[in-house]
Amino acid sequence: MRKYWLVFKKSLKSELTYRAAALWGIVGAGLSFLIQIFLWQALLSTGVRNDTSFPDMLLYVLINSLVLQLTRANVAGVIETAMIDGTISMELLRPISYKGYMLAHTLGKNIYGALTATLPILLLSLFFLSGAVLPDLVHIPLFLLSALLGIALKFEVTYLAGLTAFWLQRCWFIRFYLTGLSSIFGGTMVPIWFYPEFLKTLSYWLPFRYVTFEPINIFLMKTSVEQAWVSILAALLWMIGLSIVDKLVWRAATKKLTVNGG
């Protein structure tokens, strides 16, 4: 465990040197959040839908942005570069699991940016959240559990997709597939409860809705306690299934890996 903590701290520290980048990250996140505020104010003022309140949507956007920032990772890109310059052979020699290393590295890299970008918009949204209904004492632990699982699941999917880098010549495009699919089937842009039926049904067959959509539903108490356990169980099953797959893929990848020089 201490080894992973070291990796986490090292990648956090190297992020801390980019003060200007963090500052502009805050500006960018603030502007995006402002757009969402005006957008949902305009949409909700039409009065067409009464299943969604303005504080609901603010919390929706807030939790989504925090989780997505925290799990943003370019595993394929890292593997690609490491294969081209040969450092992959060094990384494989380390007495540490590559997946654990990637996870610690990703979290360390993202946590600073995610927190600095979320804190200002959290403060900003306090002005608008007066009418918000906060979750009760049963839903809070359920939310935390499902959000943690969501973060783990998002990493798992990104990691598994990233492993395909071992077989591809170039892989800058993998993240476009991931963001596209998680936006459609994970409801990261529009809540799935607005979706037409067939898309809603389809989303149950993929892991993406368990990353942020289900945790948010629990936080907003749109999910009953029994349903919450069902969604947590589904996320857990996805985790287990994908972990088995990634072990098999990893074994095949390291078997075929040839490093040219380096």
Partner 1 sequence: MRDFRRLFSSFFKVALRREMAYRGTFIAGIIGQWISYGATFLGIYIMVSSFDILGGWNGSEVLMLYGLSVMSYAIGASFFYNFSRGLASRIRSGEFDASLTKPIHPFLHEVFSAGYNVGYISHFTVSLIIMAIALRSISFTPTVQRVLFLILGVLGASLIQGASLIAASTMSFFTVGNNPIADFLLWDMKEFTNYPITIFPKGIQFVLTFILPFAFMNFYPAAALLGKAIPEGYPAILPYLSPLVGALVFALSILLWNWGLKHYKSTGS
Q: Which of residues 189-218 bind partner 1 (CB under 8 A)?
A: 189-190, 194-196
Q: What is the dihedral of CA 195, 199, 200, 204, to 10 degrees?
A: -150
Q: How far apart are CA 16 and CA 19, in angstroms?
A: 6
Q: Which amino acid is at 65?
A: S
Torsion of CA 189, 190, 192, 197, to 10 degrees: -120
Note the residue count of the chain. 262
Q: Binders of partner 1: how many residues, by CB under 8 A?
A: 39
Contact predicate 75/154, CB 8 Å: no
Which pair of tokens denotes residue 190? 């529009």
Q: Which of residues 162-181 bind partner 1 (CB under 8 A)?
A: 168-174, 176-177, 179-181
- From candidates 12, 44, 111, 129, binder to partner 1 by CB under 8 A: 44
Q: What is the distance, to the nearest Å, from the Cα of residue 127 to the centroid of all Cα atoms in its chain?
A: 26
Q: Which two tokens stand for residue 199?
A: 């898309």
- Please select the residue that binds partner 1; options are 13, 28, 202, 224, rule is CB under 8 A: 28
Closer residue to partner 1 in complex, CB, 82/184: 184
Q: How far is the CB of 29 from partner 1 (least distance, A)?
A: 9
Interface with partner 1 in residues 106-165 (CB under 8 A): none
Q: Based on CB atoms, which residue is closest to partner 1, 5 or 194?
A: 194
Question: Which residues, at least 6 apart from 72, have a Cβ–Cβ distance to it below 8 Å?
Answer: 106, 110
Q: Which of 18, 86, 133, 144 binds partner 1 (CB under 8 A)?
A: 18
Of 4, 10, 12, 43, the one binding partner 1 (CB under 8 A) is 43
Tokens of 215: 């945790």
User: Taking CB under 8 A as the rule, does residue 184 contact partner 1?
Assistant: yes
Q: Rule CB under 8 A: which residues touch partner 1?
A: 18, 20-21, 23-25, 27-28, 31-32, 35, 38-39, 41-44, 46, 48-49, 168-174, 176-177, 179-181, 183-184, 189-190, 194-196
